């Protein structure tokens, strides 16, 4: 996809929401009151979210297209590559710094929460904004499906993997090994999805004049995005190389919502309270991010910096 097509196909939520929602027409007290709604987004029910979204005809078709894109660009394509090896190069993207991060099986629940993380957010917004939130949620669903297709532009040219330990000490790890062939590491969709979620939520409450009211939930999502990003490294589903690739992808995908300044803040908050070597990991992640950004500014296909990086790495 050319740069022009990318810009046309991926309008930022800033522009989209500004076009369709006038902040002057929405008073803070117009937010739907719901005294019984959970105060924490984490308390929302994922099955109920599916029900709330799919029962609305305005959202149904977009939601189904989103699910189809996720299935096609992640599961179908990855299994096809695993069953028909050799058609696309597979690079090993490990880095020596990965050895500094211990394997933490107790982090698996946080890691597996990345899908429920964004789905629960929709339910929370529907509870509190009701019909006024339908168009922003439709846009979010549309762009989430687009996010998977965007990342697949890299996967279709060069797959990637890491040295993932074969640990099946719990049913959750057995599930991971059963359903994930582990061929789509750069860029990390886990990280892209959670960044998309917290930046979208922050933009929506800003447009609705509800930043103060929902500041705790915005912080909850931000901290959750950090925790899931750390967890993908702790459970060895990704390398430290995968994180800056995902950050770069998000800046190119939605530069208004995830500019370099936000990427820097996000990286600076990773592994806070961890041992001193965490500083070296943070420095590496931000330096690689800046390297990708600098190379991307030269123009051309946004995937070029990531493909060039993987080109000279060892092949599986």
pLDDT at 38: 59
User: Using CA atoms, how far apart are residues 304 and 306, in angstroms rounded to an integer?
Assistant: 6
Q: Characterize 131-143 residue by residue with b for buried, 16 or more Cβ atoms within 10 angstroms of its Cβ, and e for exposed.
A: eebbebbbbbbbb
pLDDT at 179: 87
Q: Identify whether the C-beta of residue 147 lies closer than 8 Å to the C-beta of residue 192.
A: yes
Under the phi-then-psi rule, with left for phi > 0, alpha for psi from -120 to 50, and beta for the rest, what region is 80? alpha
The SS3 assignment for 196 reads helix
- Identify the burial level of 22 via C-beta atoms within 10 angstroms of its C-beta, where 0-12 means exposed, 13-18 middle and 19 or more buried: exposed
Q: pLDDT tens track of the chain, all 316 residues?
A: 433 333 333 434 444 444 444 444 343 434 444 444 458 999 999 999 999 999 999 999 999 999 999 999 999 999 999 999 999 999 999 999 999 999 999 999 999 999 999 999 999 999 999 899 999 999 999 999 999 999 999 999 999 999 999 888 889 999 898 889 999 999 999 999 999 999 999 999 999 999 999 999 999 999 999 999 999 999 999 999 999 999 999 999 999 999 999 999 999 999 987 766 799 999 999 999 999 999 998 778 999 999 999 998 999 8
Tell me the sheet residues that pair with 160. 91, 184
Whether the link from the prior residue into 235 is cis, omega within 30° of 0, is no
Q: Identify whether the C-beta of residue 10 lies closer than 8 Å to the C-beta of residue 150.
A: yes
User: Using CA atoms, how far apart are residues 305 and 246, in angstroms rounded to an integer?
Assistant: 12
What is the DSSP code (8-state) at residue 74? I
Q: Which two tokens stand for residue 208?
A: 């609705």
């Amino acid at each position: 996809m050319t740069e022009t097509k990318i810009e046309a196909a991926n309008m930022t939520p800033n522009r989209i929401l500004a076009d369709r929602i006038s902040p002057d027409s929405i008073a803070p007290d117009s937010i739907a009151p719901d005294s019984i709604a959970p105060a924490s987004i984490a308390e929302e029910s994922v099955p109920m979210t599916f029900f709330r979204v799919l029962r609305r005809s305005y959202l149904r078709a977009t939601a189904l297209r989103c699910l189809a894109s996720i299935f096609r660009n992640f599961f179908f394509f990855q299994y096809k590559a695993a069953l028909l090896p050799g058609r696309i190069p597979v690079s090993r993207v490990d880095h020596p710094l990965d050895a500094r991060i211990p394997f933490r099986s107790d982090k698996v629940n946080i890691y597996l929460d990345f899908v429920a993380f964004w789905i629960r957010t929709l339910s929370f917004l529907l509870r509190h904004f009701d019909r006024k939130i339908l168009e922003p949620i439709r846009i979010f669903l549309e762009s989430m499906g687009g996010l998977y297709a965007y990342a697949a532009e890299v996967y279709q040219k060069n797959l990637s993997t890491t040295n993932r330990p074969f640990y099946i000490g719990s049913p959750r790890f057995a599930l991971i090994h059963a359903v994930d062939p582990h061929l789509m590491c750069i860029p990390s969709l886990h990280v892209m999805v959670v960044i998309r979620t917290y930046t979208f939520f922050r933009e929506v409450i800003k447009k609705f004049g509800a930043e103060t009211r929902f500041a705790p939930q915005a912080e909850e999502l931000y901290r959750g995005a950090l925790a899931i990003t750390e967890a993908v490294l702790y459970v060895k589903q990704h390398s430290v190389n995968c994180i800056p690739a995902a950050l770069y992808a998000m800046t190119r995908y939605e530069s208004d919502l995830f500019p370099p300044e936000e990427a820097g803040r996000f990286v600076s908050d990773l592994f806070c309270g961890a041992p001193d070597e965490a500083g070296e990991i943070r420095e590496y992640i931000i330096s690689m991010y800046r390297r990708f950004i600098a190379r991307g500014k030269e123009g051309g296909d946004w995937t070029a910096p990531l493909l060039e990086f993987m080109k000279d790495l060892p092949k599986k």
